[in-house]
Amino acid sequence: MKLSGVHYLIEQGIENLWKNRMMSFASFCVLLVSLLLVGTSVLAYQNIASIVGGVESQNEIIIYMIDGTDAESLNQTGNQIRHLPNIADVRFYSKEEEYLALKERMAEYDVLFDALGDDNPLVDSFRVKVQDISQMSRTISQIQELDNILKINAPYEFVSFLTQLRTILTWVMCALIGAMVIVSMVIISNTTRTSVYSRREEIHIMKYVGATDAFIRFPFFIEGMITGFFAGCGALVITWLVYDALVKILENQVTLLNIIGIGSIIHFNAVYLYAAAAYLLGGALIGALGSVFSIRRYINV
Amino acid sequence: MVELNDVSVTYSSGVDALEHVSLKINDGDFAFVVGASGAGKSTLIKLLLKEIEATSGTVTVNGYQLNRLKKKKIPELRRTIGIVFQDFRLISSMTVYENIAFVLRVIDAPKKLIKKRVPYVMGLVGLQDKANSYPHELSGGEMQRVAIARALVNDPQLIIADEPTGNIDPELSYEIVDLLKTINRQGTTILMVTHEHDLVRRFGGRIISITAGQIDFDEIMEGTDI
Ligand SMILES: Nc1ncnc2c1ncn2[C@@H]1O[C@H](COP(=O)(O)OP(=O)(O)O)[C@@H](O)[C@H]1O
Ligand SMILES: [Mg+2]
């Protein structure tokens, strides 16, 4: 195709956009709302996942060692744990340090500690954080194989609750996003169908005088793409403003932050590039496809 | 050139719209196709544009063997044919000039050609003064002349007119046929469908009559008015 041809088609697309501005505006609104729904859902999901992840990472396995195990064996066990798969962090707590810390924490009960005298009732322990808590029970059974272990404490029930929660959330989110993408495609192609219907004569004439299908589709493609692009811009700005405001409100809720962990809330600054790319590309693509999709009925003459 | 060889068309509804039709129209010919409503005239035209396929038999138009023509090549075929409809089918949001130039634009013709060719064909149909009018500002006869200019602008080998005078006052109908005759004298083949026997009798020439999907008459007749 000649350059003048491409130029003409882009011009046509923009002109049609203006001629059908009511329809274009309707498409714009539909796209804006669906992009916002999908975008906020994804952001909400990301945050919940991040919060669940934060809670997860605070869960540790405590391994109590048999009293009297010598330093070399302790060292060896520590190294063996470190070399197991799915281990994020291993920390050793000697019974002496723990006893001192305990005394300090419970200074008002010093009578009790005096009665114990030098007799340290605690044992040496390891505290282990795992990478993937859904694999925790496997990791625990691997640790159980090691020597000199007295007892293992692990938050089994809480862990399985979190794992289930995450799985359910992921599925709900995927279903929601899928449904919204389909619904918005259908609505957009129905909205553009009205404006395509008003131009069916034009399309028929084009077919009769020998315009190629690509040539007929191109202006519709451009029109849908521009509408979608602007809807993406709108969704981006709205998300940005609303999200930032929400984060500010949340960050003032100190008690809530203590539960979910300060680092768990995702700031828009951290994701704005992805959000912009997803909104603009997603908007342009859904807009263009919805528009082209709606002319297929008239193009087969 | 148009050639049909033992062509039948059966619609999916079971209607036999054309039955064993053989027909040859040479380059430069002018032919009337007449027949009652439902005889199969529009079906014949759809066949020539490859809007529908022959159920059996072969169709050749301007050197294209339509049975073998790939879907992708249909635009190429249609660029050799100009088409005029009974209901004009002008685009109401475009001026006369735009309606004609549109055809050249959508087949990606050079700008320079468009600038020269469009005023030229508007002159041929006598509408140079109406370049900036919109279709609703024109009479039926004028609208049909715009449609003829549009069919002509791409310099096609063949112009097909499906009842071009059907929506026009009888007095103006003669003008339209006159115009088509003039175009024909420049070398363009013309196939004009009509059920107005007056018109046919007056102009004469080759007359192809279709009845119930079959050609029952194909002769050259003397006109009463030449
Ligand atoms: N798309 C179609 N589907 C089924 N039958 C059709 C279709 N188009 C036309 N027909 C039938 O084919 C016959 C010929 O129609 P047509 O070619 O339109 O006749 P004409 O143009 O001479 O009036 C008629 O009986 C008509 O009802
Ligand atoms: Mg007809």
pLDDT per 10-residue tile (average), chain A, 301 residues: 73 82 84 87 82 74 87 88 88 86 78 75 87 82 86 78 81 83 76 76 89 88 90 95 88 72 77 92 89 79 62
Tokens found for residue A37 = 């729904």
Q: Domain coordinates of chain B in residue numbers?
A: 28-52+71-221
Q: Do the Cβ atoms of B110 and A208 come within 8 Å?
A: no
Rounded to the nearest angstrom, the distance between the alpha carbon of B48 and the centre of ligand 2 is 14
Average pLDDT over residues B158-170: 92
Tally of CB atoms within 10 A around B92: 10
DSSP helix/strand/coil, A161: helix
Q: Does the beta carbon of B21 sit less than 6 angstroms from any atom of ligand 1? A: no
Q: What protein residues have CB closer than 5 angstroms to ion ligand 2?
A: B 42
Interface test with A, best of B74, B86, B108 (most A CBs within 10 A): B108
- Please tell me the number of Cα atoms within 13 Å of B29 on its side-chain side: 21
A208, A213, A218: best to mutate for the B interface, most B CBs within 10 A: A208
For the CA of B210, the closest atom of ligand 1 is 22
Ligand 2 centre to CA of B46 (Å) is 10
User: What pLDDT, on a 0 to 100 scale, did the predictor assign at position A263?
Assistant: 66
Q: Output the residue whose Cα is nearest ligand 1's atom 26.
A: B38
- Measured from the Cα of B37, ligand 1's closest atom is 23
* Residue contact A216–B51, C-beta within 8 A: no
pLDDT reported for residue A269? 85
Q: What is the mean pLDDT of chain B?
A: 94
Cβ contacts of A215 on chain B, cutoff 8 Å:
106, 108
pLDDT of residue B130: 95
Which pLDDT score, from 0 to 100, does residue B222 have?
87
A211 and B49 in contact by Cβ < 8 A? no
Tally: H helices and E strands in chain A? 12, 4
Report yes or no on whether pTM surpasses 0.80.
no
**In angstroms, rounded to a whole number, what is the distance separating the alpha carbons of residues B129 and B131?**
6
ipTM, 2 decimals? 0.88
Q: Do A4 and B76 touch (CB under 8 A)?
A: no
Query: Would you state the pLDDT for residue A261?
Result: 63
Given the candidates 3.40.50.2300, 2.40.33.10, 3.40.50.300, 3.20.20.100, the CATH classification of the domain at B28-52+71-221 is 3.40.50.300
3-class secondary-structure state, position A125: strand
Q: What is the pLDDT of residues B79-131, one digit of tens each?
A: 999 999 999 999 888 999 999 999 998 888 899 999 999 999 999 999 999 99
Contact of A76 with A296, CB cutoff 8 Å: no
Q: What is the DSSP letter of A135?
A: G
pLDDT for position A259: 65
Ligand 1: atom nearest CA of B13 is: 4
Mean pLDDT across the stretch B178-205? 93
For residue B220, the surrounding DSSP H or E stretch is strand B214-221
User: Which chain A residues are Cβ-neighbours of B83 within 8 angstroms?
Assistant: 208-209
CB contact under 8 A, B106 and A209: yes
- Domains of chain A (ranges plus CATH)? 3-56+161-299 (no CATH), 60-154 (3.30.70.3040)
pLDDT at res. B100: 96
Per-residue CA distances from B77 to A91, A181, B8, B33, B70 (Å): 80, 40, 21, 22, 10
Q: Looking at B77-91, B118-132, B149-163, B212-226, which range is the least confident one?
A: B212-226
What are the distances in angstroms from CA B111 to CA A187, B43, B95, B128?
Answer: 38, 36, 18, 19
Structure confidence at residue B140 (pLDDT): 92
Provide the edge-to-edge strand list for the sheet that holds A87-93.
A87-93, A125-130, A60-65, A149-153
Task: Please tell me the predicted confidence (pLDDT) of residue A48.
Answer: 79
The tokens for A167 are: 């799985």
Best A198, A209, A213, A216 member to test B by mutation, with max B CBs in 10 Å, is: A209
pLDDT at B226: 55
pLDDT at residue A175, rounded to an integer: 87
Indicate the burial class of A144 (C-beta count within 10 angstroms; 0-12, 13-18, 19 or more).
Answer: exposed
CA distance A201 to B89: 7
One-letter amino acid at A190 equals N
